[in-house]
Amino acid sequence: MEEYKKEVFLTTSNILLTSSQFFLRNFEVLKKNTMNHFLSLLCIFLLMLKSIASFSQTVKGTSQEVNTTTPKNIVLLIGDGMGLSQISAGFFYGDQPSNFERFPVVGLLKTSASSDLITDSAASGTAYASGIKTYNGAIGMTKDTVAVKTIVELVSESDMSTGLIATSSITHATPASFYAHVASRRSYEEIATFLPHSDVDFFAGGGLKFFSERSDGRDLISELEQQGFELSTQSLPKQPSEKKQAILLAEDALPTMLEGRGNFLPEATQLALDHLSENTNGFFLMVEGSQIDWGGHANDADYLIAEQLDFDTTIGVVLAYMIENPDTLLIVTADHETGGFTLATDTGDYNKIKPSFSTTGHSASLIPIFAKGPGANLFGGIYENTGVFHKIMDLLENR
């Protein structure tokens, strides 16, 4: 933006200088010729000044149309279990250039939980959703098991729309952290009870059984419909609904990419963007590539890489949306790294890569964060994962 302002200043100055030089060069004509000549020159000079004013107004209008420092919309993409090697895999195994190359701002996050050096998805999800450190397993709770407001609840107070997408159950740790408040991430049925009465306007993922086949007999499907949701359980709708949208396409987690999940994640993200864009006050959308993590836990490189490439494609969907909606901030990060994943040499051959793992659990590696759009410059550097929440809220407070 600063470069743009310099261009405007130089262009305006050049027009003014040219106009002045023209008038001074022809000043002698004023003394030698008739009043008609004088008036003609004066008119030309005034027209030049009018052009300057018109140009300045156009520039002013342009700067008002696109706010380059404060976002209207915020999209947070979380690759569960995605460390630097997982991201790097997309560069070597993808058919297209990785969308991660398109980000101007990159940083690193420290992810330890309050209870452990190595975080789980619940504590990390709560850090992103509520800006606090908590114990592993906590969903929307402090380390003393006190409920804490989530970003979904906070931005809804400003009449922004909100959406959540996952390839796991929608009651799994990361998405749950944005709308529920429970002491244990394994309390899936309890987590599900928060969603019909939450501030979420759009959600898509798996987990139908936690709403319809419950041990307590409670019918959360009816509650969703009573709260104004249009429910889809067979396939992803082609068009956004005028109602709130609830999309539950599997009893628990969605199939893996290798099992034929197809384009669910990028297409659900596009649908969410179309749905949430109807709100002129803006929106917050969280999208999780849930199963990158599961490929890491299984030490299955093919599984992990397929999920990583699907996540990369989804990033491209949001970047394409931002071309027509430049007031959107995109943040891409992970909750933690899983598997101690490495792109190693294959028996010492430096022209062959052999994906390898050092654990079936999580690791303590710093996590990359990428940002593009209004306010992206705030997300560079090395800082705690809780800082992501606070940076987002600072940007929204300045709207």
User: Which residues have a catalytic role annotated?
Assistant: 121
Provide the 3-class DSSP secondary structure of residue 14.
Answer: helix
Report, in this order, helix, strand and coil percent for the chain, each rounded to 5.
Answer: 45, 20, 35
- Answer yes or no: are the C-beta atoms of 368 and 103 closer than 8 Å: no
Q: Which two tokens stand for residue 100?
A: 């991660």
The distance of Cα 381 from the centroid of its chain, to the nearest Å, equals 18
Q: Which two tokens stand for residue 277?
A: 């864009």
Query: Which distant-in-sequence residues (6+ apart) come within 8 Å of 179 by Cβ?
Result: 140, 150, 152, 153, 164, 194, 195, 198, 199, 200
Q: Does an H or E element contain 65, and which?
A: helix 35-65
Strand 283-289: give its sheet, edge to edge.
229-232, 244-248, 202-206, 161-169, 283-289, 73-79, 328-333, 367-372, 105-110, 381-384
- The span from the CA of 340 to the CA of 338, in Å, is 6
Query: Which distant-in-sequence residues (6+ apart) come within 8 Å of 376 by Cβ?
Result: 103, 104, 105, 329
- Answer yes or no: are the C-beta atoms of 103 and 332 closer than 8 Å: yes
- Answer yes or no: are the C-beta atoms of 249 and 233 closer than 8 Å: yes
Q: Which two tokens stand for residue 202?
A: 């759009």
Where b means 16+ CB within 10 Å and e means fewer, 202-221 reads bbbbbbbbbbbeeeeeeebb
Closest CA to 317 of 279, 289, 282, 280: 289
